[in-house]
Structure 1
Amino acid sequence: MSTRFAATALVVPFENLRMTDVDSVGGKNASLGEMISNLPTGVKVPTGFATTAHAFREFLAFGDLAGKINARLSTLDTDDVNALAVAGAEIRAMIEAQPFPAELEKEIRQAFITLCGDNNKASFAVRSSATAEDLPDASFAGQQETFLNVTGIEEILHKIREVFASLYNDRAISYRVHKGFAHEHVALSAGIQRMVRSDLGAAGVMFTLDTESGFDQVVFITSSYGLGETVVQGAVNPDEFYVHKPMLKAGKLALIRRSLGSKLIQMQFSTPEEKAASGHLVKTTDVPTELRNRYSLTDADVQKLAAYALVIEEHYGRPMDIEWGKDGIDGELYILQARPETVKSQAAGKAEHRYKLKGKGAVLVEGRAIGQKIGTGPVKVVHNLSEMDRVQPGDVLVTDMTDPNWEPVMKRASAIVTNRGGRTCHAAIIARELGIPAVVGCGHADQVLKDGMLVTVSCAEGDTGFIYDGLLETEVTEVQRGHMSEIDVKIMMNVGNPQLAFDFCQLPNAGVGLARLEFIINNNIGVHPKAILDYPNIDSDLKKAVESVARGHASPRAFYVDRVAEGVATIAAAFWPKPVIVRLSDFKSNEYRKLIGGSRYEPEEENPMLGFRGAARYISADFGEAFAMECEAIKRVRNDMGLTNVQVMVPFVRTLGQAQKVTELLAQKGLKRGVDELKLIMMCEIPSNAILAKEFLQYFDGFSIGSNDLTQLTLGLDRDSGLELLAKDFDERDPAVTSLISLAIKACLSEGKYIGICGQGPSDHPDFARWLMAQGISSISLNPDTVVATWQNLAQSK
Structure 2
Amino acid sequence: MSENTLRLDQLTMNDVPLVGGKNASLGEMLQNLTALGVSVPGGFATTSMAYHQFLEHEGLADRINGLLNELNVDDVAALQRTGAQIRDLIMEVPFPPDMEADIDTAYAALEVEYGTETSWAVRSSATAEDLPDASFAGQQETYLNVSGLDNIKQAIRLVFASLFNDRAIAYRVHQGFAHEGVALSAGIQKMVRSDIGASGVMFTLDTESGFNDAVFVTSSYGLGEMVVQGAVNPDEFYVHKPTLTAGRPAILSRHIGSKMEKMEYAPAGGDELVQIVPVAEDDQILFSISDEEVESLATMAMVIEKHYGRPMDIEWAKDGNDGRIYIVQARPETVQSQSANIIEKYILKSRSEVLSTGRSIGHRIGSGKACLMNDLSQMDSFEPGQVLVTDMTDPDWEPIMKRASAIVTNRGGRTCHAAIIARELGVPAVVGCGDATAAVKAGDDVTVVCSEGDTGVVYQGLLDFEHVTHELDEMPEIPVKIMMNVGNPDRAFGFSQLPNAGVGLARLEFVINNMIGIHPKALMNPESVPEEVQQIIKQRTTAYGSPIEYYVSRIAEGVSTIAAAFAPKKVIVRMSDFKSNEYANLIGGSQFEPDEENPMIGFRGASRYISEDFRACFELECQAMKRVRDEMGLTNVELMIPFVRTVDEAKGVVEILRDNGLERGKNGLR
Fold conserved between structures, TM > 0.5: yes
1:627 deviation in Å? 0.5
2:456 maps to 465
1:101 aligns with 2:96: yes
Task: Give the distance between the partners of 1:488 and 1:235, measured in 2 at CA.
Answer: 51
How does 1:599-638 map onto structure 2 within 5 Å? Answer: 599-638=590-629
2:314 maps to 322
1:280 maps to 272
Whether the aligned pair in 1 keeps the contact of 2:360 and 2:455 (CA below 8 Å) is yes
Deviates further, 305-314 or 128-137: 128-137
How does 1:208-223 map onto structure 2 within 5 Å? Answer: 208-223=204-219
- Supply the AA of the counterpart residue of 2:301: A
Whether the aligned pair in 1 keeps the contact of 2:552 and 2:624 (CA below 8 Å) is yes
Task: Give the distance between the partners of 2:536 and 2:236, measured in 1 at CA.
Answer: 22
Task: Give the distance between the partners of 1:273 and 1:627, measured in 2 at CA.
Answer: 60
Which residue, out of 487, 498, 515, partners 1:507?
498
Deviates further, 503-512 or 543-552: 543-552
Task: Give the distance between the partners of 2:313 and 2:580, measured in 1 at CA.
Answer: 46
Larger RCO of the pair (alpha carbons < 8 Å, separation 6+): 2
Task: Give the distance between the partners of 1:163 and 1:85, measured in 2 at CA.
Answer: 18
2:16 maps to 22
- Supply the AA of the counterpart residue of 1:66: A
1:75 maps to 70
1:119 deviation in Å? 2.5
Structure-2-length-normalised TM-score: 0.98
Which residue, out of 186, 191, 194, partners 1:190?
186
Task: Give the distance between the partners of 1:487 and 1:425, measured in 2 at CA.
Answer: 41
Structure 1 residues 644-692: Cα deviation after superposition (integer angstroms, max 9, x where no partner)? 111111111111111111111110111111111112xxxxxxxxxxxxx
1:545 deviation in Å? 2.7
Partner SS state of residue 312, structure 1 = helix
Task: Give the distance between the partners of 1:488 and 1:621, measured in 2 at CA.
Answer: 47
1:243 aligns with 2:239: yes
How does 1:108-147 map onto structure 2 within 5 Å? Answer: 108-117=103-112, 119-147=115-143
Which residue, out of 515, 523, 536, partners 2:527?
536
Structure 1 residues 194-238: Cα deviation after superposition (integer angstroms, max 9, x where no partner)? 110000100000000000111111000010000000000000000
Which residue, out of 445, 449, 452, partners 1:454?
445
Task: Give the distance between the partners of 2:230 and 2:475, measured in 1 at CA.
Answer: 41
Whether the aligned pair in 2 keeps the contact of 1:389 and 1:409 (CA below 8 Å) is no
Structure 1 residues 454-484: Cα deviation after superposition (integer angstroms, max 9, x where no partner)? 1110000111100011111101111222476
Q: How many residues align?
A: 668
Whether the aligned pair in 1 keeps the contact of 2:4 and 2:49 (CA below 8 Å) is yes
Task: Give the distance between the partners of 1:412 and 1:348, measured in 2 at CA.
Answer: 23
Which residue, out of 163, 170, 177, partners 2:166?
170
Whether the aligned pair in 2 keeps the contact of 1:124 and 1:192 (CA below 8 Å) is yes
- What residue ranges of structure 2 are gaps of 5+ in the alignment? none
Task: Give the distance between the partners of 2:540 and 2:329, measured in 1 at CA.
Answer: 35
- Supply the AA of the counterpart residue of 1:216: N
Task: Give the distance between the partners of 1:540 and 1:38, measured in 2 at CA.
Answer: 56
1:296 maps to 288
1:151 aligns with 2:170: no
1:354 maps to 345
Task: Give the distance between the partners of 1:541 and 1:225, measured in 2 at CA.
Answer: 28
Partner SS state of residue 110, structure 2 = helix
1:597 aligns with 2:591: no
- Supply the AA of the counterpart residue of 1:346: Q
Task: Give the distance between the partners of 1:605 and 1:119, measured in 2 at CA.
Answer: 74
1:49 maps to 44
- Supply the AA of the counterpart residue of 1:153: L
2:435 maps to 444
- Supply the AA of the counterpart residue of 2:28: E
1:40 deviation in Å? 4.2
Task: Give the distance between the partners of 1:619 and 1:53, measured in 2 at CA.
Answer: 72
Which residue, out of 415, 420, 437, partners 1:424?
415
Structure 1 residues 176-202: Cα deviation after superposition (integer angstroms, max 9, x where no partner)? 111111111110001000110000100
Task: Give the distance between the partners of 1:613 and 1:217, measured in 2 at CA.
Answer: 36
Task: Give the distance between the partners of 2:423 and 2:614, measured in 1 at CA.
Answer: 46
1:657 aligns with 2:651: no
Which residue, out of 313, 317, 326, partners 2:305?
313
- Supply the AA of the counterpart residue of 1:27: G
1:11 aligns with 2:20: no
Structure-1-length-normalised TM-score: 0.83
1:86 aligns with 2:77: no
Whether the aligned pair in 2 keeps the contact of 1:56 and 1:189 (CA below 8 Å) is yes
Structure of greater Rg: 1
1:113 deviation in Å? 1.2
1:383 deviation in Å? 0.4
How does 1:612-761 map onto structure 2 within 5 Å? Answer: 612-679=603-670
Task: Give the distance between the partners of 1:627 and 1:656, measured in 2 at CA.
Answer: 19
- Supply the AA of the counterpart residue of 2:174: H
1:487 deviation in Å? 4.8
Task: Give the distance between the partners of 1:40 and 1:161, measured in 2 at CA.
Answer: 31
Whether the aligned pair in 1 keeps the contact of 2:285 and 2:540 (CA below 8 Å) is no
2:565 maps to 574
Whether the aligned pair in 1 keeps the contact of 2:226 and 2:232 (CA below 8 Å) is yes
Q: CA, structure 1 residues 76+124, in 2 after alignment: closer, same or farther (shift >3 Å)?
A: same
Structure 1 residues 579-603: Cα deviation after superposition (integer angstroms, max 9, x where no partner)? 1111000111111111112221111
Partner SS state of residue 675, structure 1 = coil
- Supply the AA of the counterpart residue of 2:332: P
Structure 1 residues 507-544: Cα deviation after superposition (integer angstroms, max 9, x where no partner)? 00111010111111112111111111111233323322
Whether the aligned pair in 2 keeps the contact of 1:127 and 1:146 (CA below 8 Å) is yes
Superposed structure 1 runs of 4+ greater than 4 Å apart: 483-488
Deviates further, 543-552 or 406-415: 543-552
Q: CA, structure 1 residues 362+95, in 2 after alignment: closer, same or farther (shift >3 Å)?
A: same
Whether the aligned pair in 1 keeps the contact of 2:529 and 2:588 (CA below 8 Å) is no
1:348 deviation in Å? 4.1
Deviates further, 329-338 or 605-614: 605-614
Whether the aligned pair in 1 keeps the contact of 2:34 and 2:40 (CA below 8 Å) is no
Partner SS state of residue 365, structure 1 = strand
2:488 maps to 497
1:547 aligns with 2:538: yes
1:758 maps to none
Task: Give the distance between the partners of 1:542 and 1:37, measured in 2 at CA.
Answer: 54
Deviates further, 547-556 or 374-383: 547-556
Partner SS state of residue 472, structure 2 = coil
Task: Give the distance between the partners of 2:63 and 2:537, measured in 1 at CA.
Answer: 64
Task: Give the distance between the partners of 1:386 and 1:408, measured in 2 at CA.
Answer: 13
Task: Give the distance between the partners of 1:116 and 1:462, measured in 2 at CA.
Answer: 50
Task: Give the distance between the partners of 1:428 and 1:542, measured in 2 at CA.
Answer: 34
1:405 deviation in Å? 0.4
Task: Give the distance between the partners of 2:603 and 2:663, measured in 1 at CA.
Answer: 24
Task: Give the distance between the partners of 1:439 and 1:484, measured in 2 at CA.
Answer: 31
Task: Give the distance between the partners of 2:571 and 2:111, measured in 1 at CA.
Answer: 55
Percent identical among aligned pairs is 60
Partner SS state of residue 272, structure 1 = coil
Task: Give the distance between the partners of 1:82 and 1:557, measured in 2 at CA.
Answer: 57
Whether the aligned pair in 2 keeps the contact of 1:235 and 1:401 (CA below 8 Å) is yes
1:58 maps to 53
Whether the aligned pair in 2 keeps the contact of 1:231 and 1:238 (CA below 8 Å) is yes
- Supply the AA of the counterpart residue of 1:128: S
- Supply the AA of the counterpart residue of 1:506: Q
- Supply the AA of the counterpart residue of 1:98: V
